[in-house]
Amino acid sequence: LGEMPFINAAFELARRGDGSGEGEGAERGAAPPEPGLAEVVDLFRRRPPASAPPLVQVPPDRSQDTPATPRLAGRLALFYAICREARGRYERAHGGVLRPGAIAALLGYACRYARVEGDLAPDLYQLVIAGRGFADDNYAQELWEVATTYPWQAEAPEIPALDLSLRDLTARTRNIHLRPRLLRRRRRLMQVVQPRPRERRPGEWAERFSDGICSYPPEDLAIEGFGDQLRRRSASLIAAGQTSTLRFTSSLADGIDVRETIRRWHERTIYVRLDRATRAKAGSVVVIFDDEPLALADLDDDAEPRFPWQMTWQGEGDDEGDMALYATDPFARIVGPGIGRAHYGGFLLSRPAGAMFGVWQDPYFTDARTKAEVLLLAALDHARERIVVYVAARPPRRQLRQIAARMDRKILHVPIGQLAPATIDRLRVFHVLSGPEVRDEAPRYLR
């Protein structure tokens, strides 16, 4: 549909001055808007019409998706109300969560899409396409359901009723195929029948901890696989850095550089790519989610460290390496008998296993200012390969790069924003067990 039924219904209610609806708690006789102001009708919650400037279109705040305020007016406010209502239905029905600022970005994309097609404002097709791109097919379906919502027709309508087909409304019709994910009812019923176990008395699960601790093997394999993925990605980045572009003369070298040729199309010549072989490989991997000062004096007054737990793990098998990390206290959140949950602040992966000991007690790293710098210095010291992959929001300071150069090492910085947020959130959570005997029963508590 070119014009959404929701918008038609909202403007019809505003035209009749009946924005409060027929539901309970509706306020009758609301004060008319001030001269020069328009009425914004909330079709879902049936609130009295709010006054708003008619043509002032202030984009929503990208930092947080707050309800529409009087600053949003006209069609933009209605689009924002549609997206918010669809988000609520999406969370209740499918358990999905939109990241902060997703609605603002969605509307911006829909408006740009409309301008590309020569429209002043997005139609239903463009809005649903934007919703599917910024979320998934489930949210797109909820968006379509909300946008096609309209009140029931009265027995004696004020306006004559017409029987129209889709072709009568507009000749520009397009189809969109949605593939919503089906809810797994069997799994939901099993979760209802088997609730999560609980402690019989406070502190019962914490009593299982003694002097020894160990990790959870499935999480170890996931972390090692993530490290291998970063090493392969860094290898492609290193190879791309060794590639040069030359003007075509007599040889095609390693192929035509299409991007450079198009960029210099005005020169009417062809550019070719020359790949130089490199033997540099990535060894140690450092991933920093949140950095923190190493000295307590650098923290704010009366501030406790966010990541007080510092540990150096030893690899147990051929598929695992050594690991140094700093994280939240796993013993502060006990989720099972002898099972503690924590969040990484940062970690270091080094191979082979059994070569890294006592990173946080090593006096060689006393020049480090933050915990992330301790891990980076340890990676430079224990790396068998020349390249050290450093994943963080900010690159390391110049002094650390100079130290790496004196050690014949090179730091390859990868911005953490280039990684998938879902992968980061999943890998950042880990568990500490009181002993190997807990590994068999841990899946009951780690869902």
Q: What is the pLDDT of residue 18?
A: 54
Q: How far apart are the C-alpha atoms of 262 and 271, rounded to whole Å?
A: 9
Q: What was the pLDDT predicted at 15?
A: 65
β-pair partners for 336: 339
Domain of residue 127 covers: 5-153
Strand, coil or helix: what is 155? coil
What is the rounded CA–CA span in Å between residue 273 and residue 261?
10
- Tens-digit pLDDT profile for residues 80-134: 889 999 999 888 877 778 887 889 999 999 999 999 998 888 888 899 999 998 8
Which of residues 153, 183, 217 is at a domain's end?
Answer: 153
Distance CA 432, CA 233 (A): 29
Where do we find the tokens 């593939």?
A: 179
Q: What is the Cα–Cα distance from 65 to 98, expressed in whole angstroms?
A: 10
Q: Confidence band (pLDDT; 50, 70, 90) for 330?
A: very high
- Domain annotation covers residue 363: yes
Do residues 268 and 344 both lie within one domain?
Answer: no
CA nearest neighbour of 70 among 83, 82, 56, 84: 56
**Quick one: the chain helix, strand, coil %, rounded to 5?**
40, 15, 45
Average pLDDT across the chain, whole number: 79
* Count: domains in the chain: 3
Residue 184 lies in a domain: no
Nearest-angstrom CA–CA distance, 103 and 66? 10
Q: Is 200 part of any domain?
A: no
In order of 194, 300, 381, the CA distances from 377 in angstroms are 47, 25, 6
310, pLDDT greater than 90? yes
pLDDT digits (tens, 9 = 90+) for 368-420: 899 999 999 999 998 888 889 999 999 999 999 999 999 989 899 999 988 88
Tell me, yes or no, whether 218 lies in a domain.
Answer: yes
In this prediction, residue 312 carries a pLDDT of: 92
- List, for residues 435-445, the tens digit of each pLDDT value: 888 998 888 88
**Choice between 287 and 157, residue whose per-residue pLDDT is larger:** 287
For 288, the 3-state DSSP assignment is strand
Between 446 and 376, the more confident residue is 376
Q: Is the same domain home to 233 and 271?
A: no
- Where is 426: in which H helix or E strand? helix 421-428
Torsion sign across C-alpha atoms 321, 376, 292, 233: negative
Which of 227, 254, 275 lies at the terminal end of a domain, its last residue? Answer: 275
First to last CA, the chain: 43
Same domain, 260 and 359: no
Q: Which of these ranges, 63-72, 249-258, 291-300, 364-373, has the smallest mean pLDDT?
A: 63-72
Question: Looking at the structure, do residues 390 and 425 belong to the same domain, yes or no?
Answer: yes
| Residue 210 tokens, joined | 């003694």
The strand pairing partners of 326, in sequence order, are: 310, 346
pLDDT tier at 52, thresholds 50, 70, 90: very low
Q: Is residue 96 domain-shared with residue 124, that is, in the same domain? A: yes
140, 94: one domain: yes
Between CA 346 and CA 360 the distance in angstroms is 13
- Look at residue 194 and tell me if it is in a domain: no
Round to whole Å and give the CA distance between 394 and 346. 13
The pLDDT score that the predictor gives to residue 34 is 46
Instruction: Look at residue 194 in the predicted model and tell me its pLDDT.
Output: 62
The Cα 238–Cα 282 span in angstroms is: 9
Query: Is residue 108 located within the same domain as residue 222?
Result: no
Q: What is the pLDDT of residues 13-42, one digit of tens each?
A: 766 665 444 433 333 333 444 444 444 445
Cα–Cα distance for residue pair 128/6, rounded to 1 Å: 14
- Token code pair at residue 260: 């450079």
Span 342-361, mean pLDDT? Answer: 90
The residue out of 275, 298, 328 marking a domain boundary is 275
Q: Could you tell me if 146 and 86 are in contact, meaning their C-beta atoms sit under 8 angstroms apart? A: yes
Helix axes 371-382, 398-406, angle to 10 degrees: 10
**Residue 158 covered by a domain:** no
Which region among 43-47, 141-145, 277-281, 381-385 has the lowest average model confidence (pLDDT)? 43-47
